[in-house]
Amino acid sequence: MRIMQSVRTRSWLRAAAAVAAMLACTLAQAATVQAGTRARADGSLIHWSLTPPLHAAPDARSPRGVLLVAQGSGCHPASASASVAAAHAVAPALALLTVEKYGVSPHDRPADAIADCSQDYRLHHTVSQRAADALQVLQGLRDVPGWSGPLVLFGGSEGGAVVAQLAPLARPDAVVVMSSSLGETLADTIRRVVPPPVARQLDAVLAQARRDPASGASWGGASARWWADVADTVPARALLSSAAPVLLVQGERDALAPVASARLAQQAYREAGHGGLTYWELPGHDHFMVDAHGVDQRDRVLGRVATWVADRLAERARTGADEGAVDGSAVGATMPDADLLRWHRSMRRLHPWG
């Protein structure tokens, strides 16, 4: 989420180096990354890229599967993100699919992924738009022979809300969400984490965004359209309508996507009698999977996630469970407040899922 940015460059460089080593040592990576575009209804282009699996499939004739990774907020391209590349480790036998946000191209390199974004991004980027774009790309990919294998969705922070919306439509075999507020509206989450002077502005900002989402106004680095899109949405409700198994990974000390929201998502599943949620609350871990001793545990956590994903895919292969084909029916200026911007900049590091 834009007002909840952060950066831990060093650990992600290590993760990127590990992924690079895997790429260099795996003969299955001889194939090149595929890239393409699809047109939205308004004529703008969706940029996507597909990285080959890190591990060769046992049977080359088997349908190929896809891991779609939805990164966090900001306008840095997903295809150039070390954190997204590192997330490939959760499903190394699948191809890694990235879908760029509205107004972002693979060649963009913004100095500041919040302040230096294109006008198209500022005016059109929303969580719902990201979900619709991903669905359109997946639908096109599924129409290509040979791409009918497993589908896994992975989302971190804002990307968690994206895959929550996407899951009922894309019908994945498994969903992983990390460090994302799923159990309440974003408005309620923000009230938990921002300073009181900022929280007091929130109701007026959201009311204005609902009245006129196309106004071009912004707050906290996000457009009125973005705020109107997420203000009243509880992502867990969308996930509850998906039959896919879901893993929710939450740090107990997360100051940006608070643990209280994750617990509400767990409660929603329990009250609905839905047994599809696996919930890991990691004691002492923060938004970036750094533990209480300051040790980055992200690689270890991703390794545990990989085991969970492999087990779920094996179960679905044994039982013949199949969510089915992608549902294509859904395809289709005020200056930011100074107090909020000061808080935002004080929190900013390179977002671990961005």
Give the lowest-confidence range in 9-13, 186-190, 221-225.
Answer: 9-13
Gap between the Cα atoms of 85 and 14, Å rounded: 12
The 10s digit of each residue's pLDDT in 290-320 is 999 999 999 999 999 999 999 999 998 888 7
pLDDT over 70 percentage in the chain: 80
pLDDT of residue 351: 37
The 10s digit of each residue's pLDDT in 108-156 is 999 999 889 999 999 999 999 999 999 999 999 987 777 889 999 999 9
DSSP string over 219-265: ETTEEHHHHHHHTT--HHHHHHT--S-EEEEEETT-SSS-HHHHHHH
C-beta neighbour count of 41 within 10 angstroms: 9
Q: Which residue has the higher pLDDT, 314 or 344?
A: 314
**Considering the chain, what is the average pLDDT of its residues?**
84
Residue position matching structure tokens 């002492």: 284
The residue count for the chain: 354
Q: What is the largest CA-CA distance in the chain?
A: 59
The arithmetic mean of pLDDT across residues 209-217, rounded, is 92
Q: Closest Cα partner for 206 from 219, 196, 194?
A: 219
pLDDT of residue 305: 98
pLDDT of residue 10: 42
Q: Closest Cα partner for 57 from 173, 172, 149?
A: 149
**Alpha-helical segments (H) within the chain:** 9-25, 82-87, 119-124, 127-142, 158-170, 186-193, 196-211, 224-230, 235-240, 259-272, 298-319, 338-347
The 10s digit of each residue's pLDDT in 29-86 is 445 899 999 999 999 999 999 999 998 766 666 678 999 999 999 999 999 999 999 9
Contact 153, 170 (CB under 8 A): yes
CATH number attached to the domain at 9-347: 3.40.50.1820
pLDDT of residue 342: 40
Query: What are the sequence ranges of the domains in the chain?
Result: 9-347
Which two structure tokens, joined as six digits, stand for 288?
């970036």
